[in-house]
Amino acid sequence: MSSDKPMLSVLRGEQSRIPPLWLMRQAGRFLPEYRALRAKSGSFLEFCYSPAAAAEATLQPIRRFGFDAAILFSDILVVPDALGQTVGFESGHGPRLAPLEGEAPLSGLREEIDLEKLAPVFETIERVKGALPRETAFIGFCGAPWTVASYMIAGHGTPDQAPARLFAYRRPEIFEALITRLVEASVAYLLRQIDAGVEVVQIFDSWAGVLPPTQFERWVFEPLRDIVARVKKARPQALVIAFPRGAGAHLRRCVEGLGADGVGLDTAADPASAARDAQNRVALQGNLDPLALIAGGAALEKEVASILTAFQGHRHIFNLGHGVLPQTPVEHVEMLVRFVREGRS
Ligand SMILES: Cc1c2[nH]c(c1CCC(=O)O)Cc1[nH]c(c(CCC(=O)O)c1C)Cc1[nH]c(c(CCC(=O)O)c1C)Cc1[nH]c(c(C)c1CCC(=O)O)C2
């Protein structure tokens, strides 16, 4: 099926000479208009739950750069919030959750996600949907069970998710119950996002890269495959991108076996080898180094050119290998857009 949205066409199986382009964390602190909007609001979660503000943050990068896709402005940690865990964000420090611990770590959590609590997110989606240019695709998202669980257990960001890894070894039954609950919650949440108006959902497994193969299979691959299968079965029109960041040696299995329409490549992944594995059966998304975007100039041009060359002849969505960093100059993003679309900086 062809579409007047280049992003959807590539996810549905077409190739495009000029890849559709969007950036993870394209809304955020590197944009002066985001900082101004954010300064007027309360806590980060309040901001995420304010439909007018969240819709505006979603649209800002579309107005400025004309990206091929908008991504819902929200956060992966609204899911633990809607499961009843206490979630906060400390400026400069990132997320702070009441960690899951003690004799019965799941006892304070709801069995099922409270979608009523997330009503403002669905309202944000409805607002954005009515305001997007007709050629712009709309992406919703959630965090993958392993990544979300790792924050729920530690209560904050860590360099290697050691607390969740230890928990999974020491208390595998409880960890399994948590992952199962997150699979259910993620499916329910994504289906509601699709019903509210997103056309694509991306599942962020930002911490997929820290596990040994046995644990990767159980906590990353299987839950991701289940979510993809259930979302596609319930909403066959919806398109799904999986982003198993740091999957490394498991990337091939993800490209071949997750059942997603697209797979996101992180900064360290080799585009040419992923393209060989994919055989055009899935679209590949990525994977410019966010630091090359900060550096700009000849280094940026060279990296962009090499990615475009490596993906030639393959279904490709241009993106970064991880999110835009706050110190990124806006002009470098403008340059990237010109370079990808017009082949000039
Ligand atoms: C692990 C993770 C989180 N959140 C997310 C992930 C997965 C992707 C990744 O690995 O980056 C996903 C996310 N977070 C945010 C978005 C918005 C949409 C977009 O991509 O533009 C998305 C898709 C906004 C945000 N989420 C957060 C901010 C910064 C808060 C602020 O503006 O005050 C934004 C814009 C806060 C957040 N949220 C999270 C952390 C670790 C932090 C603190 C680090 C930081 O500050 O960048 C959890």
Model confidence band, residue 91 (pLDDT cutoffs 50, 70, 90): confident
What does the chain come to in residues? 345
Residue owning the nearest CA to atom 6 of ligand 1: 76
Domain ranges, ordered by start, for the chain: 6-342
pLDDT tens per residue, range 40-50? 999 999 999 99
pLDDT tens per residue, range 223-237? 999 999 999 999 999
Which of the listed CATH numbers 3.20.20.210, 3.30.300.210, 2.20.25.570, 3.30.70.20 matches domain 6-342?
3.20.20.210
Residue owning the nearest CA to atom 17 of ligand 1: 73
Encode the chain in three state secondary structure: CCCCCHHHHHHHCCCCCCCCECCCCCCCCCCHHHHHHHHCCCCHHHHHCCHHHHHHHHHHHHHHHCCCEEECCCCCCHHHHHCCCCEEEECCCEEEECCCCCCCCCCCCCCCCCCCCCHHHHHHHHHHHHHCCCCCEEEEEEECHHHHHHHHHHCCCCCCCHHHHHHHHHCHHHHHHHHHHHHHHHHHHHHHHHHHCCCEEEEEECCHHHCCHHHHHHHHHHHHHHHHHHHHHHCCCCEEEEEECCCHHHHHHHHHHCCCCEEECCCCCCHHHHHHHHCCCCEEEEEECHHHHHHCHHHHHHHHHHHHHHCCCCCEEEEECCCCCCCCCHHHHHHHHHHHHHCCC
Q: How far is the CA of 164 from the centre of ligand 1 (A)?
A: 20
Question: Residue 324: its pLDDT value, please?
Answer: 98
Question: Residue 344: its pLDDT value, please?
Answer: 74
Is residue 224 within 8 A of residue 243, CB to CB? The reply is no
Average per-residue pLDDT for the chain: 96
Please determine, for residue 249, whether its predicted confidence score (pLDDT) is greater than 80. Answer: yes
Question: Residue 185: its pLDDT value, please?
Answer: 98
User: Chain-centre distance of CA 11, in angstroms?
Assistant: 15
Supply the pTM of this predicted model: 0.97
Percent pLDDT > 70 in the chain is: 99
Is the ipTM higher than 0.90? The answer is yes
Please determine, for residue 343, whether its predicted confidence score (pLDDT) is greater than 90. Answer: no
Question: Residue 2: its pLDDT value, please?
Answer: 54
pLDDT tens per residue, range 164-195? 999 999 999 999 999 999 999 999 999 999 99
Q: How far is the CA of 213 from the centre of ligand 1 (A)?
A: 27
Instruction: Give the residue numbers of the binding site for substrate.
Output: 25-29, 75, 151, 206, 322
